[in-house]
Amino acid sequence: MDGREGGFSVPDSEIPISGIESAYLQHRGDLLRFLRARGAGDAADDLLQEIWLRIKKADSGPVAAPLPYLYRVANAVMIDRHRSTVQAARRDANWAETQPEQVQPSPEGAAAARQEVAQLLNLLDRLGQRPATVLRRHRIDGLSQREVAAEMGISVSTVESDLRTAYRALLEWKERRDEA
């Protein structure tokens, strides 16, 4: 018997089958309907696979009533899945509570932010091409000072000097903005 329902196969010739496994293979369709009737929906096939894995791992010995046993396992798998889903939702909700609220800026705020960005880009352009490029590559693109120096064919001390120039200009711009 080569069972393919539930997205997997269990060939008899490769695996010795116990009584519970035989009952599972014989009643797999019934178990799938049971899971769907209990609300498993699209997850029913995954749950059916979980049942198979559980009975393969279990050291249960002979089972007097294999079909009721399989239904108890199916019920336990459904409960475990439900608990896991509830726990994940709770964890996600707790995480979301720790995060700052994302507020959409007003149209005026967005316009002001665009204006500030334009001022900063203008400031960078006035610094000169090399200091502006050094600042962008290091602070925005995340390259190390050594990587920026190698890329641009300049020394690390030149990169440091250009960064000091850019930082000084940005600090002055920030102080002017804060005073206004």
pLDDT tens for 67-93 read: 999 999 999 999 998 898 889 888 888
Residue pLDDT, tens place only, 26-64: 999 999 999 999 888 888 999 999 999 988 887 777 888
pTM for this prediction: 0.46
Alpha helices in the chain (DSSP H): 19-26, 28-37, 44-57, 66-98, 107-127, 129-135, 145-152, 156-179
Residue given tokens 């711009």 in the structure block: 173
* Coil, strand or helix at 66: helix
Question: What's the farthest any 2 CA atoms get from each other in the chain?
Answer: 86
CA dihedral 86, 90, 93, 98 (to 10 degrees): -160
Residue pLDDT, tens place only, 102-156: 777 788 888 888 888 888 888 888 889 999 999 989 988 999 999 999 999 999 9
Q: What does the pLDDT read at residue 14?
A: 52
Q: What does the pLDDT read at residue 6?
A: 46
Query: How many CB atoms lie under 10 A from the CB of residue 136?
Result: 14
**What gap in Å lies between CA 71 and CA 99, rounded to an integer?**
42
Mean pLDDT of the chain: 84
Q: What does the pLDDT read at residue 16?
A: 55
